[in-house]
């Protein structure tokens, strides 16, 4: 709702980071990008997962032809400029998103399954259970090298009260990131808060101020740790779990402080950005500002893993800017009404237009010897294909980026029936040097990602 | 009435139990249930066939509770399987309920165990406010708390991530520094609020009052005004720029735009124009930090109009002849008009009175008030405060006092010593006494003992499975239940003196807390989530269909429900008022919307609604009716479900797998009602919809934003439905009757929701005796709100904690 005039100019500046004008600033950061111990000549691959809710009008999404000769469909048209940088993937499934005897609640299951591949436990209570998500598996490993293992972002606050989806906890539809099967990571939707998290809460990104802040935070953390230790003895089992969660967070923040201090000695210069005022009034401005922050976070190597929920699963955003006043989820049950399908398609296409903006920002951001897009793996998709019927199979999936020049784009790949979505994530993790045994229902790595002539 | 079985009272349970025995139950199960619920089919993962030992009602209580529920709701046996005689079903359910009651009487009460509860966003904000004397709501930007069981204060669902802990560290610093050193210096910034366009509604005469001689002369309740709630970051001057829009008829006297803040007059301007678009007026005013309601309005909007409008004080300006909607203007006319309007339209004569606002821009802060608030210094420096004159002995007193308030119990010497370390450190670094105190206070606000409400684990007592929580823990349970905030000095003092548990003291405290202003947290956080009226902030009715729904109406709808509930809480009214009351609270805007006459001005007041179609109770509140609708139309299903879930404690199960959802709006598929009747022909749908739909249909006279309507699209509204027992429910009056006949179910529902909220955990089967007890005590005391609250406070789950398992 609130955005300041001042912030508008700041945002213009922020946008400028992707352009040639601002490049000198970024170049001065480049030495800092190579984390200690990493091979300085190889840029790390960044991962971004962008989720759109309520399914997609598939007939306007899926290209007719497979392979390299495909034509961009109406919905995908806005990203055609990046043709050679992307793979459209058809046929990937989330078997575990289906009811499997649990009845209604496909939206909750869709959200919970997308990055976990796990069949979430049906409960409205506190005993939620899904699986660890792909981004968090990546964050555990490659996140060690950055100040923030990962960022979880969103664009839709869940201020609705009451139940979410048919007997499922709201946690399932509000988030796609799970650090453990019982720990959903709620997305941050306020760009100002994201900025402050990344760059501290000062008006600027002055390293000396941040170092002072870090020292003080450290002494406070020492205090609370001692305090918590005294407490430990006379706690019940449930309370001990809570305390463990608390102490784990203390440790993680201490690790971050250490990272900040290391970087400060490295005299790393952070981009000179002013903090955003808050949540912009329109969806388009909001997502744009998030994209700016995501790009800068990648550029400054503050994190290498980001998830962005463009909407909450089952969310009811309206899109008046493109003449769709209907609530998205309500509309997604279109019952083959052509005018509803048309409006949904417009929403889908609008989302892809937004994606194009993000890809453009990554493309124009320089990173080492290439562009940020070349050094990224961006997955854009939904965990429902046909939202009307709640179909969890043949999911709309777009993979973009070069994963440090290891991917050959310009293709539409149709995977064979029954290929788990999680196989794609297994491959991406593998490319990042992270090799978990399994992710949800994965059966191995996906084909035709890098293994192409 | 609704289902004859459901109105059974306890008395009849014990009487009827004579008519059945456990062997009858087994015979009934064998005949009507075991066909599917047996060892080999095991439908729904339930095998009833294997349960036939005498002890099964004890041991498998949860399964049998479910059986009773399904039988009572008529969900089992499912359609297609022969229904047993209703008398047999009734005898079985009553026998089982009698058996449960017998078990409950003999069983040791089990209070369950609440795990450490992290402060949620609302609790954190209020606690900081009450500790430090500053209302800066630092938690508003924290990630949303995950709700469970309908509430966002359930301990097991309140997790903590590193990101959130960072928020806490940050918030502690901001809050403490704001309290000790005053707000941080803010750079000015501008915030823009654009007003919704309501041209459709304000064009022509539709929005004009019938009687122009009597209307709200402040304009605050008319559609011409615009209202926004803005949070001002600091005490300072702010610049307010109002951007005007719309038109005034030629020959009118100048428009009088005006600005109000929190209903208080700030400034009036005169703008002489027929076309107001883009005109700007500005004023600078000093505002305190926090949320304020900004209202841009037009004073005496129907005064000074051309005489033929029939308004008061008509314009004396010439030329009368011009006022002809279809007339053309001559050069001379234009010249004359120019004399009387700084900007005029020359292509036709302006007849519209649709002057309104395009936007409000707020710039600031300027001339920020710096320095610490006196109230904060008083609360923190309990030794007295003069900068630079602190004696060391005071440090201990200050830190000890603050830690004891923050931890909600006396801080130990060790805890205080540890925090005092920061003062030594500050001195070593050459920092001031205040700086040392600041860091000490910040650390305390990041401690798990502050962020969590941890109750100590009771040691096992031989022969007892539960012990009372200690007096300080009880004080916290009370204050977070009724205030969503930390216990005040009085509660802590009574806890320290060991008096809080004395029944007369406890009762007096509960009543004091309900009367206290802080109990509005109970309305906002408990009732707002229970009745879901908080959602009025986020719903977006379709502006094409409901152009009159603007933020002023939204705020008014919410305010009505809040005031109504606060009235019940503060005046200790009967909780049955929620279902049926002959009063509500409206201002002129809402009164006009409701069609209630004789209310002028923006202030809310209590009005008698007995003779109107807003027949009282929350089901007649536009807030509730709006949040239970789609953005474009009503949904009898959602409203029916809302009633079942929130008022009768009988949430319908999710639709069975494979059943296509009802397409209520299918093009060309007949009326909504016909489609729903079609839908109900499917027996799988009918078992629930035959209950939901008639309840929802009875509210069809209220549209999707709660406005009364007799017709829709030219057709008369049919607000009737036939209940499963064949009786007809027609309109809100009948609905109210049905609900009042089931007042036991309603009070039990309310008791269950409120107990859940108060103890921060989902209820389990062992809580049911407590719920029934609360319902009985509430009924015995005339259903007064304080009786319900006291019954909850005195209940076993609220008072006690289970001892550890051996």
pLDDT tens string A192-245? 888 878 876 655 455 666 666 777 788 888 889 888 888 877 788 888 888 998
d(CA B99, CA B26): 14
Pick from A135, A140, A98: nearest CA to A120: A98
Whether B456 contacts chain A with CB within 8 A: yes
**pLDDT on residue B431:** 84
Whether B740 contacts chain A with CB within 8 A: no
Whether B148 contacts chain A with CB within 8 A: yes
Q: Is the pLDDT at A18 greater than 60, yes or no? A: no
Cβ-Cβ pairs closer than 8 A, A with B, add up to: 215
Size of chain A, expressed as the number of residues it contains: 453
Pairing of strands B452-453, B280-287: unpaired
B753 against A170, higher pLDDT: B753
Set of chain B residues whose Cβ sits within 8 Å of the Cβ of A281 = 192, 194
Whether ipTM tops 0.90, in short, is: no
pLDDT, averaged across chain A: 82
pLDDT band at A62 (very low <50, low <70, confident <90, very high): very high
A-interface mutation test, from B159, B473, B623, most A Cβ less than 10 A away: B159
Q: Which residues of chain B have pLDDT under 50?
A: 1-18, 199-206, 320-326, 342, 664-668
Residues 394-423 of B with CB under 8 A from A: 414-415, 418-419, 421-422
Report the residue of chain A nearest B363, measured CA to CA: A4
Whether B189 contacts chain A with CB within 8 A: yes
Task: Provide the shortest C-alpha distance from residue B573 to chain A (in Å).
Answer: 26
Set of chain A residues whose Cβ sits within 8 Å of the Cβ of B170 = 196, 201
Pick from A291, A251, A305, A271: nearest CA to B166: A251
pLDDT band at A452 (very low <50, low <70, confident <90, very high): low
Give the per-residue SS3 of chain A.
Answer: CCCCHHHHHHHHHHHHCCCHHHHHHHHHHHHHHCCCCCCCCCCCCEEEEEECCCCCCHHHCCCCCCECCCCCCCCCHHHHHHHHHEEEEEEEECHHHCCCCCCCCHHHHHHHHCCCCCCCCCCCCCCCCCCCCHHHHHHHHHHHHCCCCCEEEECCCCCCCCCCECCECHHHHHCCCEEECCEECCCECCHHHHHHHHHCCCCCCCHHHHHHHHHHHHHHHHHHHHHHHHHHCCCCHHHHHHHHHHHHHHHHHHHHHHHHHHHHHCCCCCCCCCCCCCCCCCHHHHHHHHHHHHHHHHHCCCCCEEEEECCCCCCCCCEHHHCECCCHHHHHCCCCCHHHHHHHHHHHHHHHHHHHHHHHHHHHCEECCEECCCCEEEEEECCCCCCCCCCCCCEEEEEECCCCCCCCCCEEEEEEEEEEHHHHHHHHHHHCCCCCCCCCCCCCCCCCCCCCC
Set of chain A residues whose Cβ sits within 8 Å of the Cβ of B657 = 99, 101-104
- Helix or strand (DSSP H, E) at B173: helix B162-181
> Per the CB < 8 Å rule, is A128 touching B164?
no
Residue B321 makes CB contacts below 8 A (sequence gap 6+) with: none
A-interface mutation test, from B43, B116, B429, most A Cβ less than 10 A away: B116
CB nearest B447 (choices: A224, A241, A337): A224
Backbone angle region of B760, left / alpha / beta, with phi > 0 → left and psi within -120 to 50 → alpha: left
φ/ψ (deg, to 5) at B274: -90, -30
**pLDDT on residue B38:** 84
> Per the CB < 8 Å rule, is A330 touching B630?
yes
Task: Provide the shortest C-alpha distance from residue A335 to chain B (in Å).
Answer: 7
Pick from B337, B339, B308, B302: nearest CA to B325: B308
A20 against A134, higher pLDDT: A134
**pLDDT on residue A450:** 77
> Per the CB < 8 Å rule, is A227 touching B630?
no
> Per the CB < 8 Å rule, is A253 touching B804?
no
Report the residue of chain B nearest A279, measured CA to CA: B141
Do residues B293 and B555 touch, judged by C-beta distance below 8 A?
A: yes
CB nearest B654 (choices: A103, A256, A316): A103
- Helix or strand (DSSP H, E) at B201: helix B199-202
Residues 670-729 of B with CB under 8 A from A: none
Task: Provide the shortest C-alpha distance from residue A394 to chain B (in Å).
Answer: 19
Half-sphere exposure of B364 (CA within 13 A, CB side): 26
Set of chain B residues whose Cβ sits within 8 Å of the Cβ of A10 = none
Whether B186 contacts chain A with CB within 8 A: no
> Per the CB < 8 Å rule, is A159 touching B144?
yes
d(CA B415, CA B412): 5
Distance in Å from the first CA to the final CA of chain A: 50
**pLDDT on residue A203:** 52
DSSP three-state, residue B282: strand
Report the residue of chain B nearest A183, measured CA to CA: B159
Residues 508-547 of B with CB under 8 A from A: 528-529, 532, 534-535, 537-538, 540, 542-544
CB nearest A193 (choices: B141, B544, B632): B141
Task: Provide the shortest C-alpha distance from residue B366 to chain A (in Å).
Answer: 15
Whether B164 contacts chain A with CB within 8 A: yes
Set of chain B residues whose Cβ sits within 8 Å of the Cβ of A201 = 170, 174
**pLDDT on residue B319:** 59
Set of chain B residues whose Cβ sits within 8 Å of the Cβ of A327 = 540, 630-631
pTM (two decimals): 0.81
**pLDDT on residue B192:** 84
Report the residue of chain A nearest B185, measured CA to CA: A203
- Lookup result for tokens 């934003």: B705
**pLDDT on residue B329:** 63
A-interface mutation test, from B41, B117, B121, B141, most A Cβ less than 10 A away: B141
């Amino acid at each position: 709702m609130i955005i300041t005039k001042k912030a508008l100019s700041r945002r213009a500046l922020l946008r400028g980071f992707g352009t040639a004008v601002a490049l000198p600033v970024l170049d001065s950061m480049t030495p800092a990008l190579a984390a200690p111990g990493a091979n300085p000549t190889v840029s790390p691959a960044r991962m971004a997962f962008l989720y759109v809710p309520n399914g997609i009008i598939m007939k306007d999404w899926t290209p007719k032809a497979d392979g390299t000769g495909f034509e961009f469909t109406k919905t995908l048209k806005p990203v055609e400029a990046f043709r050679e940088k992307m793979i459209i993937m058809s046929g990937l499934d989330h078997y575990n998103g289906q009811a499997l005897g649990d009845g209604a609640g496909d939206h909750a299951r869709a959200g919970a399954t997308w990055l976990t591949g796990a069949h979430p436990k049906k409960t409205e209570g506190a005993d939620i259970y899904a699986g660890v998500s792909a981004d968090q598996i990546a964050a555990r490993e490659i996140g060690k090298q950055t100040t923030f293992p990962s960022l979880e972002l969103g664009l839709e606050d869940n201020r609705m009260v009451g139940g979410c989806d048919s007997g499922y906890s709201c946690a399932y539809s509000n988030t796609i990131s799970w650090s453990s099967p019982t720990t959903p990571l709620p997305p941050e939707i306020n760009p100002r808060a994201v900025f402050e998290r990344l760059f501290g809460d000062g008006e600027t990104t002055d390293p000396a101020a941040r170092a002072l802040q870090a020292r003080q935070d450290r002494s406070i953390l020492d205090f609370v740790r001692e305090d918590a230790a005294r407490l430990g003895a006379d706690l019940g089992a449930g309370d001990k779990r809570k305390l463990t969660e608390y102490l784990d967070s203390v440790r993680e923040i201490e690790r971050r402080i250490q990272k900040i201090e290391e970087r400060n000695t490295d005299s790393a210069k952070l981009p000179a950005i002013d903090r955003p005022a808050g949540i912009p009034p329109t969806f388009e401005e909001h997502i744009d500002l998030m994209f700016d922050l995501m790009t800068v976070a990648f550029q400054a190597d503050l994190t290498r893993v980001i998830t962005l929920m463009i909407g909450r699963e089952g969310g009811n955003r309206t899109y008046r800017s493109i003449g769709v006043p209907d609530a998205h989820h309500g509309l997604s049950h279109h019952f083959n009404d052509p005018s509803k399908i048309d409006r949904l398609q417009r929403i889908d296409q609008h989302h892809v237009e937004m994606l194009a903006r993000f890809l453009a920002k990554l493309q124009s951001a320089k990173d080492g010897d290439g562009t940020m897009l070349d050094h990224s793996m961006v997955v854009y998709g939904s965990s429902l294909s046909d939202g009307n019927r709640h179909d969890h199979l043949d999911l709309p999936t777009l993979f973009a980026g070069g994963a440090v020049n290891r991917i050959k784009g310009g293709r539409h790949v149709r995977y064979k029936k029954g290929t788990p979505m999680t196989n794609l994530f297994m491959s991406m993790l593998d490319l990042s040097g992270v090799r978990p045994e399994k992710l949800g229902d994965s059966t191995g790595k996906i084909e035709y990602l890098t293994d192409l002539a | 009435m609704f289902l004859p079985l459901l109105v059974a009272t306890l008395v009849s349970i014990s009487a009827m139990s004579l008519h059945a025995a456990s062997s009858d139950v087994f015979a009934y199960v064998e005949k009507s249930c075991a066909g599917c619920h047996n060892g080999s089919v095991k439908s729904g993962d339930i095998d009833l066939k294997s349960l036939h030992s005498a002890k099964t009602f004890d041991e498998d209580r949860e399964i049998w509770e479910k059986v009773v529920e399904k039988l009572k709701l008529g969900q089992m046996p499912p359609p297609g399987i022969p229904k047993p005689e209703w008398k047999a079903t009734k005898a079985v359910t009553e026998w089982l309920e009698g058996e449960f009651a017998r078990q409950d009487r003999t069983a040791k009460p089990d209070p369950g165990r609440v795990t450490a509860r992290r402060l949620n966003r609302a609790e954190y904000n209020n606690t900081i406010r009450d500790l430090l004397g500053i209302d800066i709501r630092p938690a508003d930007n924290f990630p949303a708390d995950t709700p469970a069981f309908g509430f966002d204060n359930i301990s097991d669902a309140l997790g903590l991530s590193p990101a959130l802990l960072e928020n806490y560290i940050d918030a502690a610093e901001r809050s403490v520094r704001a309290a000790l050193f005053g707000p941080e210096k803010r750079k000015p910034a501008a915030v823009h609020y654009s007003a919704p366009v309501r041209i459709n509604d304000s064009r022509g005469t539709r929005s004009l009052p019938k009687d122009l001689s009597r209307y709200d002369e402040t304009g605050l309740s008319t559609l011409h005004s615009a209202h926004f709630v803005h949070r001002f970051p600091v005490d300072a001057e702010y610049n307010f720029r109002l951007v005007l829009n719309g038109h005034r008829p030629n020959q009118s006297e100048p428009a009088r735009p005006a600005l109000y803040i929190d209903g208080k007059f700030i400034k009036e301007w005169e703008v002489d124009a027929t076309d107001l678009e883009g005109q700007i007026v500005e004023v600078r005013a000093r505002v305190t930090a926090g949320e304020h309601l900004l209202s841009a309005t037009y004073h005496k909007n129907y005064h000074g109009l051309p005489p033929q409008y029939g308004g008061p004080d008509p314009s004396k300006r010439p030329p009368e002849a011009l006022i002809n909607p279809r007339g053309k203007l001559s050069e001379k006319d234009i010249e004359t008009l120019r004399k009387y309007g700084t900007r005029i339209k020359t292509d036709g004569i302006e007849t519209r009175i649709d002057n309104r606002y395009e936007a409000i821009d707020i710039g600031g802060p300027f001339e920020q008030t710096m320095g610490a608030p006196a109230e904060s210094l008083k609360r923190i420096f309990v030794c007295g405060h003069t900068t630079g004159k602190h004696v060391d002995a005071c440090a201990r007193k200050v830190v000890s006092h603050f830690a004891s308030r923050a931890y909600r119990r006396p801080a130990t010497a060790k805890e205080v010593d540890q925090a005092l370390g920061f003062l030594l450190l500050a001195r070593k670094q050459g920092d001031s006494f205040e700086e040392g105190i600041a860091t000490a206070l910040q650390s305390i606000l990041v401690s798990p003992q502050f962020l969590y409400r941890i109750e100590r684990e009771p040691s096992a007592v031989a022969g007892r499975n539960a012990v009372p929580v200690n007096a300080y823990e009880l004080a916290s349970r009370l204050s977070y239940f009724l205030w969503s905030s930390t216990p005040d000095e009085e509660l802590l003092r009574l806890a320290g003196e060991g008096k809080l548990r004395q029944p007369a003291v406890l009762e007096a405290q509960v009543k004091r807390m309900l009367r206290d202003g802080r109990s509005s947290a109970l309305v906002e956080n408990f009732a707002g989530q229970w009745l879901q009226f908080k959602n009025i902030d986020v719903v977006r009715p379709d502006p094409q269909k409901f152009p009159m729904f603007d933020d002023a109406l939204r705020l008014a709808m919410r305010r009505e429900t809040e005031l109504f509930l606060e009235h019940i809480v503060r005046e200790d009214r009967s909780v049955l008022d929620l279902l049926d009351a002959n009063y509500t609270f409206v201002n002129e805007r809402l009164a006009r919307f409701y069609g209630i006459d004789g209310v002028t001005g923006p202030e809310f007041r209590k009005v008698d609604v007995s003779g109107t179609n807003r027949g009282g109770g929350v089901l007649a509140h536009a807030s509730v009716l709006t949040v239970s609708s789609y953005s474009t139309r009503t949904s009898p299903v959602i409203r029916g479900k809302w009633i079942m879930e929130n008022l009768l404690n009988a949430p319908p199960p999710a639709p069975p797998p494979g059943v296509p959802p009802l397409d209520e709006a299918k093009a060309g598929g007949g009326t909504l009602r016909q489609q729903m009747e079609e839908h109900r022909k499917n027996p799988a749908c009918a078992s629930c919809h035959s209950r939901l739909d008639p309840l929802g249909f009875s509210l069809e006279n209220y549209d999707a934003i709660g406005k009364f309507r007799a017709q829709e699209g030219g057709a008369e509204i049919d607000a009737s439905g036939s209940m499963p027992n064949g009786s007809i429910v027609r309109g809100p009056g009948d609905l109210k009757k049905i609900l009042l006949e089931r007042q036991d179910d309603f009070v039990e529902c309310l008791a269950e929701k409120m107990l859940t909220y108060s103890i921060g955990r989902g209820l389990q089967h062992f809580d049911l005796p407590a719920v029934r007890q609360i319902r009985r005590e509430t009924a015995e005391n005339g259903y007064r709100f304080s009786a319900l609250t006291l019954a909850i406070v005195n209940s076993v789950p609220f008072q006690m904690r289970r001892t550890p398992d051996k």
